[in-house]
Every structure is written in structure tokens, then in C-alpha cells.
Amino acid sequence: MQHHRRVVVTGIGAITPLGLDMERTWEALINGESGVAPITRFDPNLLPVHVACEVKHFDPANFIDPREVRRTDLFEQYALAAARQAIHQANFIITPDIADDVGVVVGSSVGGFHTMLAQYEVLREQGPRRINPFAIPMIMSNGASGMIAIELGARGPSYSPASACATSNDSLGQAFEIIRRGAAIAMIAGGADATVSALGMAGFDRLGALSHDNALPSTSPKPFDKHRDGVVMGEGACVMVLEELEFALRRGANILAEIAGFGQTTDAFHVIAPAEGGTGAAKAIRRAMACANVRPEDIDYINAHGTATPLNDIAETQAVKTALGDYAYKVPMSSTKSMTGHMMGATGALEAAVCIYAIQRGVIPPTRNLVEPDPLCDLDYVPGEARQHRVNVAMNNSFGFGGHNSVLIFKRYDG
């Protein structure tokens, strides 16, 4: 019988529309604050959507050598900032004797989108000789993983998942599997995206995915509400330090939670619509539960994918009912996208961090803007206000375009 190593989380870093670290982000979530505001990064008047969840007051020079700023895309800057925070919280130094056993799995759904757009304009207006020599490293979606590995000296397994909205949940899950099978003793894992741009938002709007509630920005998105009308675009990064349990104990690390289970499936149904009835998502939930060796009634909290799109919220509700049976009506499930917006390739890791904080703090963040529930969305979505609730086991759902379904389960670590 194969022996699987246990995997724990010892550090979390986050750059989000609600704050420039995880602590500030958590406080904003618990207080039900909205990160939605009028767009400042570009003139949105050519678009029907004028609001987004932008990261505010971010200065890359606070995290990166100023000489490197022009050589890095915004998503890479977010990722490195979050990684440095996670390493600092974990009090983890990658020394030469362990460097070969520490890896990086940090994904992005689109990579250096801002650089791609900007450099195309340079090419069109000034010609090829004016292109930034670092344009390709800035654009490639594995740029964040490579940069973090270089900056921190991690020489173990390193790559970058790209599974749309499920990207960083998959990053954490793959890092979990790498440690679990003994291929590394620690991993830096998560995701980053900087997709608030005119082209990105125009594209998502043409899919019918974005909310058009410009007049009252903070009233959207509305996950699970009868009047939901789509996603609000977000951005940012969330990165964690994952360690093999015995290694973490030997070095005296403060353990935040244990990653207990990971499940993945693919719908093979439609590139943007979930499988009917949420069947693929339900299978991913069941696989994560089997991996974690938990029953439905063991789960104390679910962080929902909860995008506020008409199809997704119903499919996710159906998936949870299928996987958990009657217990689905008893477990609290909230969507923090109602406050952060959809952080794309960073969203899964940030919501996984919310699960860990719920375990640590005994509080469940609310679903903001849920006023009139959709009759087809009839579970406990923690509407309006945070709830005091002891959480020993938490589940994080992430479902991405392309039919990617990714589920993680976290447990309280009690030794």
C-alpha cells in the first residue's frame, strides 16, 4: 500500500481588490466590503461595462527591484509580491541544501495580457526595433513561476497550470500531489492575473459574462440572486507555502491548515457552459472527498465558485446537492466573488485562503448582494452578513471555462 505524505499550509500572501495582503483582504470580506468601483486603468466609455475590481494602490517597487519593474508584467509583479508575503509569514528560507526539493507551481489564465496589448501598439506605431527585449518573458504565462523560482532560489519541480477560472486551485492541487508523492518537501503555489483591460473586458462582455450594473457598482455581482446578471472582472494574486508535514514540524513552522483532498474532472460538454446538472463538478467534489477521507456531514463550510452568471450558479447548486445529498441544505456556502470580483487565474487560491482563514478564525464570510434568492438556488449561501461558525473541514470549488472542475478540501491541523 502506497504511503502518502501529509501536506500543510504555512504561509499565505495575497494582492487583491480588497487589500494588499491577506489580513486586510480577510477583514474586508468579513465586513462585507465591495471591491467593485469605476474603472480607472483605461477609459471605459467605449464599453457597455464601466466597473471592475481593480487592485488599488499597488506599487511594484515595494516588492521588486525597481530596475526589474519594466522587465515584468503586472501579473508577475502581483505574483512575486504575494509569494514574498507567503514566504515571510511561513518564516521559510530556501537554503542551498533544500533548494532542489522546493518547487513552484504558480499559474495564470492568460499571462502577460497588458504587455501583449502594449507591445502590439509599439509594433504597429514604432516598428519591431522598439519592442521591449523582455516582451516574450513578460507575456508567457509561466513567467510568474520562473520569476519566483529565480528570486527565491527554488530548483525543484516548477510549472504553470492554465485552466481558466480553475487555474490557481489546480496549482495548489498539483503542488499538493507533488509533495504527497514525495517529489518535493515544499512548494510555492498559487496564481495571478491582471486582466482588467479594454480588450479583456470587451471579450468577456461579448460572451455575455459581465454584469452591466454601472449605476450602483457595489450592488454587483449578485451570486445566487434571482436578478444576477454576470461577473465583475477582478485581478490580483494569491500564493501559498505548502510543506510536507514532517519537514514543517522539524523546522518549527506555524501550521495554518492541512490540505486533505483534491479532485479534478472535465465536463467535455461546452467551452463556456457548465455540464447540465453540474455532473462534472459533482464528480470532482466526490473525488476530493474520497481523497480527504471525509463524509458529506464532515464538511463545515464551502467556498462556492459562485460567479453570479445564470448558468453557473444553478449548476453549482445542483452539483453540491448531488455530491452531498440532503446534507447540502445544512452546510453554509458563500461566494466571496461577490466582494472581490472574479480574479480569474488568482481566484481559486484566494478562495482557498478564505477556507483556511475560516478554519483559523471561526467565521464564515457572507455572500454580498444576495437579496432575492433564485428559486433554483435554494441552499444556505450566508447572505448579507458574516457568521460565527466553527470550521474544521472546508471545501473550495473552482470551475473554469473549458469544463475544468477543481475542488480542494482543507482540514484544521490539531497534530
Q: At what angle do helices 143-152 and 74-90 cross, to 10 degrees?
A: 40
- Residue 351 CB coordination number (10 Å): 27
Residue 410: its H or E element = strand 404-411
Local structure of 105: helix, strand or coil: strand
Inter-residue contact 202 to 39 (CB < 8 Å): no
Cα 176 to chain centroid distance, Å, stands at 15
User: Per residue in 94-124, is it b (16+ CB within 10 Å) or e — as a string?
Assistant: beeebeebbbbbbbbbbbbbbbbebbeeeee
Catalytic residue among 53, 165, 238, 377: 165
Inter-residue contact 80 to 109 (CB < 8 Å): no
Pairing state between β 186-193 and 102-107: parallel
Residue 386, classified by CB atoms within 10 Å of its CB into exposed (0-12), middle (13-18) or buried (19+), is middle
Q: Of 385, 379, 389, 101, which is closest to residue 242 (Cα–Cα)?
A: 101
Local structure of 63: helix, strand or coil: coil
Query: Which stretches does DSSP call E strand in 167-281?
Result: 186-193, 236-244, 257-266
Round to whole Å and give the CA distance between 47 and 349: 29
165 is catalytic: yes
Residues belonging to the active site:
165
